[in-house]
Amino acid sequence: MEEMPKTYDPQESEPELIQKWMEAGCYQRSKGVGDCTVVIPPPNVTGILHMGHAMDDTIQDTYIRYNRMRGRSTRWILGTDHAGIATQTKVDKKLKSEGISRLQMGREKFVDACWDWTHEYGGTIVSQIKRMGCSIDFDDEKFTMSPEYAKAVRKVFCDWYHDGLIYRGKRIVNWCPSCKTAISDDEAEYKDEKGHLWFLRYPLTEPVDGIEYITVATTRPETMLGDTGVAVSPQDPDKQRFVGKTVMLPIVDREIPIFSDWHVDAKFGTGFVKVTPAHDPNDYAMGQAHDLPQINIFDETAHVVDGYGEYSGMSRDECRTAVVDWFEEHGLLDHIEDLDHSVMHCYRCGTALEPWLSEQWFVAVDKLKERATKVVTDGEVTFHPARWTQTYLTWMENLKDWCISRQLWWGHRIPVFYCEDCGWEDALMEDPAECPRCHGHHVHQDEDVLDTWFSSQLWTFATQGWPDHPEQMEGHHPTKVLVTARDIIALWVARMIMSSLYFTDEVPFHDVYIYATILAKDGSRMSKSKGNGVNPMDLIDKYGADAMRFNLLTLITTNQDVKFDANINRKTKELLGSPRTEQARGFVTKIWNASRFVQMNLDGYVPGDPKAETPEDAWMLSRLAKVAASSTQALESYDFGEYARSIQSFFWNEVCDWYIELCKGRLLDGTPEERLQVQRNLVFVLDTSLRLMHPVMPFVTERIWDSLPASGLDDHSAQFLMVAEWPEPERFAGFVNERAEHEFELAKRLVSVVRSTRARYRLSPKASLDVAVRCPEEDCQTLEAQRDFICRVGRVDQLALGAHQDKPAGSVSVVDGRLEVFVVVGGLVDLDAEAKRLQKELAKAEKDLASVTRTLSNEGFVAKAAPEVIEKKRAQKSELETTIEQLRAQASDLA
């Protein structure tokens, strides 16, 4: 058996293991009892790994590895999304840098350029996912623009078109003047901006009670060119006398009516609201209800169209300035107020979106939403955590028809064809050579492409052979769980459920796990522009993939978001350090060192069954059985954070700090029989622990497991740990020993008190101490039975036990549960000097706390200081409070 190296090098071991696993076919689908098929949320083909991906992929790989070890049929499907807007934007920028115009080169050549781009840059994120250790099937990669996937997309469109679920109509959409395409409501990003509320006077065509004009309030004076009405609230009695009257719209001299509508908030502005049906969703609804003309005053680049004199050709901002100037010049600008408001922006380019009336393709969702709602309320699809169920249901309740057309060239082109000769129109699975009605040859295809989410909604079944080979889905659909972010519950999760129910008559997945959003350490959103984004590959390069993965899982709690502690050089974007990831690396090192110690002490080892020969053996095997059960339960219920934290606590605090330490005596000084049995126990405990930790930390556990001999309950026949058996709770049930745990834990607590007292008073770990314990009689009996263990491990000379035990002279007292422990330190510590030292430290800590508290109470400081400075001060305050509490407790001991 080759000795393990002194140190573990993840940069050397991790790529080597990835290669071995892949060459052995470990990543490919496995056969077993019960199905665990998972589809990866397809990242953008030209994207790179970010912390959200790292969290998502770590969770999925942990779950897949766990299920593979349990002998279930596992399939993890890899794929990427063509990312219509994102990819077209990148290719556009590349061409412009080369002095080439997309319009000049034409659609066909531009699409070829997009394909070239995806081939050149599309593999980056896949290689990064591989480097993370994700055991996904890289030999079966899918792509939303592949021929077989494109056929599935086309079938969905054609079927819905012919079933009356897809229609074309002229409606208000969110338009990006920069990308020149429609954007869905869910993809729009709201940004808070400082703006104004302009109060403009509109002259009445005839005075009302001597009033010659009304005043409207608007955040967008430029759109008044397209006003076709003025509305008031039916709950505003003072305004009802104006209903039925008209005003003469300034600049354009258009006579428009005043009417009453429930959309109007009587408390907004003056109570008079200008109505521009072609440039506001609410105005559009009012226009429909009151039969108002829809006048689109902007072109696709948000410049004023022809017909408006000097304003034609102006941008939105230019037109706003010119309109306000005109109103002021003509005495019709009443006044201006400051106003902070939220403005929708394009999620890709950041341009302010324009509500714009245009002809688009829509999915009528009313025929789809009812069943998609029912499968969630009935529990056929379950959200984890459960609070996201209501988010889904609320969105479904308010769901509007889905705009699926995008004015792009890269993407799935809408398969609707038109005959210019006879007016024929239809959606077809194949491109027609001629018009099927008149046999004319002037047939053209719709210019638009489909929304990216339209194609990705088919992900669970279009990646598994549908529609041509539905037999490939048998046993793998519905998939087990979808792991995704909360911000695409509406964009993706809901649409996947609707389409899967319609085309497969099945839900796409049984469970939806929504992971927490990873924020910067100050609680703000990570972003490149802020310079606070963390590159997962930098973490892997610095700490190893195991450490990054383990840290990510430990961050998961029941809270909605998590803060990632990392120091970033804002100028160079360099990762300076991540304290918690460094701690996770420390855990990896702890696992390695403890395992190496065991391996180095296996001379003469012969496999055999573990046995509880001592109290610590019985305690350890019982704890091991319980952790196997709790880890299994946590992973079955998607409690990934609790799983990671509990196995760390178990292995570090119980296996390493206690059991291995307690076994050293038998390893070094025990009889041959004692030595062999403790070797068998250690190998068994270590082997089982490695299996429990493997799903989240696959590399270090695999490397160690390969260096270990077979344990008693396993012949080590598996080639790799990743395909070895999971420690099934039923198999370990016989080791559970509640009495042994209780008795050992009591003795362990007493030893811990003695050790902490030594550390508190800076005594040598080898110094023997006298100890007295006051506790209930039954506890005394338990401790008496373990007197030898307590005295040997705790280095206790004299141990007195009793329900009415007196406090010895020169002793300090520590209360731990039902134990009141008196440790005699009088002969080793100057208690008077120690008391004075504690009082001095306490006074200083209290003074420092008062100073920090004053600083944090200063509103000026909190308003102006950088978030990281405030966070540091708060951490300092918390630390000082803890220190003061500890010092007061120590001073009380000496009183």
Q: Please state the φ and ψ torsions of residue 486, each to the nearest 5 degrees.
A: -65, -30
CA distance 474 to 464: 9
Give the β-pairing of 575-577 and 443-445.
unpaired
| Residue 735: DSSP 8-state | G
Residue 521 marked in a binding site: no
Residue type at 465?
Answer: G
Closest CA to 184 of 496, 453, 442: 453
Task: Give the number of other CB atoms < 10 A from CB of residue 843.
Answer: 11
Q: What pLDDT was estimated at residue 557? A: 87
Q: What pLDDT was estimated at residue 893? A: 67
Closest CA to 362 of 441, 474, 454, 258: 454
Are the C-beta atoms of residues 387 and 313 closer than 8 Å to each other?
no
Over residues 343-367, the pLDDT tens digits come to: 888 877 778 888 888 899 999 999 9
Give the β-pairing of 189-208 and 211-218.
antiparallel
CA distance 872 to 865: 11
Q: What pLDDT was estimated at residue 369? A: 95
Task: Give the number of other CB atoms < 10 A from CB of residue 671.
Answer: 9
CA distance 157 to 162: 9
| Residue 373: DSSP 8-state | H
> Do 678 and 549 belong to one domain?
yes
CATH no. for residue 303? 3.90.740.10
Q: What pLDDT was estimated at residue 894? A: 66
Percentages of the chain per state (helix, strand, coil), in multiples of 5: 45, 20, 35
Mean pLDDT of the 144-166 span: 97
CA distance 883 to 879: 6
Over residues 274-322, the pLDDT tens digits come to: 999 999 889 999 999 999 999 999 999 999 999 999 999 999 999 999 9
Helix axes 536-543 and 51-69, enclosed angle (nearest 10): 60
Q: Please state the φ and ψ torsions of residue 669, each to the nearest 5 degrees.
A: -125, 0
Residue type at 244?
Answer: G
Name which residue leads in pLDDT, 188 or 600: 600
| Residue 508: DSSP 8-state | S
* Torsion angle, alpha carbons of 683, 689, 695, 697, to 10: -80
Residue type at 162?
Answer: H
CA distance 91 to 283: 37
Assigned domain for 436 exists:
no
CA distance 172 to 185: 11
CA distance 793 to 755: 10
> Do 822 and 847 belong to one domain?
no
710 CB burial (10 A radius; 0-12, 13-18, 19+):
middle
Are the C-beta atoms of residues 129 and 55 closer than 8 Å to each other?
no
CA distance 194 to 189: 16
Assigned domain for 383 exists:
no
**In the block, which residue shows the tokens 């109505």?**
275
CA distance 841 to 847: 10
CA distance 644 to 551: 9
Strands (E), 420-535: 425-427, 443-445, 449-450, 479-485, 509-515, 517-520
CA distance 353 to 326: 25
| Threshold 0.75, pTM exceeds | yes
Number of H helices, E strands in the chain: 29, 31
Radius of gyration of the chain (CA): 35
Closest CA to 317 of 344, 342, 345, 352: 352
> Do 630 and 685 belong to one domain?
yes
Over residues 519-535, the pLDDT tens digits come to: 888 787 876 656 778 89
Q: Which positions ≥6 away from 403 have C-beta within 8 Å?
A: 171, 173, 182, 184, 360, 361, 362, 451
Q: Which two tokens stand for residue 134?
A: 């994700």
- The partner residues of 564 in beta bridges, in order of sequence, read 520
**pLDDT exceeds cutoff 70 at 716:** no
Half-sphere exposure of 120 (CA within 13 A, CB side): 10
| Residue 524: DSSP 8-state | S
* Of 688, 718, 736, the domain-final residue: 736
Which segment of 123-132, 270-279, 453-462, 785-794 scores lowest on mean pLDDT?
A: 785-794
> Do 557 and 631 belong to one domain?
yes
> Do 541 and 564 belong to one domain?
yes
> Do 614 and 562 belong to one domain?
yes
Closest CA to 403 of 87, 150, 171: 171
% of the chain residues with pLDDT over 70: 98
Assigned domain for 58 exists:
no
Summary mean pLDDT of the chain:
92
Closest CA to 695 of 137, 136, 135: 135
Over residues 668-693, the pLDDT tens digits come to: 989 999 999 999 999 999 999 999 99
CA distance 266 to 557: 44
CA distance 799 to 754: 11
Assigned domain for 390 exists:
no
Over residues 71-81, the pLDDT tens digits come to: 999 999 999 99
* Of 702, 736, 770, the domain-final residue: 736
Name which residue leads in pLDDT, 885 or 124: 124
* Torsion angle, alpha carbons of 488, 463, 139, 707, to 10: 60
| Residue 276: DSSP 8-state | -
Task: Give the number of other CB atoms < 10 A from CB of residue 46.
Answer: 22
CATH no. for residue 715? 1.10.730.10
Q: Please state the φ and ψ torsions of residue 694, each to the nearest 5 degrees.
A: -55, -45
Q: Please state the φ and ψ torsions of residue 674, each to the nearest 5 degrees.
A: -65, -40
**In the block, which residue shows the tokens 């280095």?**
795
Task: Give the number of other CB atoms < 10 A from CB of residue 827.
Answer: 8
> Do 818 and 846 belong to one domain?
no
Assigned domain for 169 exists:
no
Residue 385: is the preceding peptide bond cis (ω within 30°)?
A: yes
DSSP notation for 561-612: EEEE--EE-TTT--EEE-HHHHHHHHHHHHHHHHHHHHHHT-TT--------
Which segment of 567-576, 641-650, 753-762, 829-838 scores lowest on mean pLDDT?
A: 829-838
Name which residue leads in pLDDT, 626 or 188: 626
Assigned domain for 126 exists:
no
User: Domain range spanning residue 701?
Assistant: 519-736
Assigned domain for 757 exists:
no
Q: Report the domain count for the chain.
A: 4
> Do 722 and 855 belong to one domain?
no
> Do 879 and 808 belong to one domain?
no
Closest CA to 27 of 723, 733, 818: 723
> Do 824 and 840 belong to one domain?
no
**pLDDT exceeds cutoff 90 at 61:** yes
CA distance 684 to 690: 10
> Do 783 and 667 belong to one domain?
no
Q: Please state the φ and ψ torsions of residue 816, each to the nearest 5 degrees.
A: -135, 95
Over residues 209-220, the pLDDT tens digits come to: 999 999 999 999
Please give the helix or strand (H or E) that residue 340 lies within, else none: strand 333-345
- The partner residues of 815 in beta bridges, in order of sequence, read 820
* Of 829, 856, 881, the domain-final residue: 829
* Residue 837 pLDDT class (50, 70, 90 cuts): confident
**pLDDT exceeds cutoff 60 at 591:** yes
Q: What pLDDT was estimated at residue 528? A: 63
Assigned domain for 355 exists:
no
> Do 844 and 710 belong to one domain?
no
Task: Give the number of other CB atoms < 10 A from CB of residue 651.
Answer: 23
Mean pLDDT of the 554-563 span: 85
Residues in the chain: 895
**pLDDT exceeds cutoff 90 at 704:** yes
Q: Which two tokens stand for residue 42?
A: 């397809």
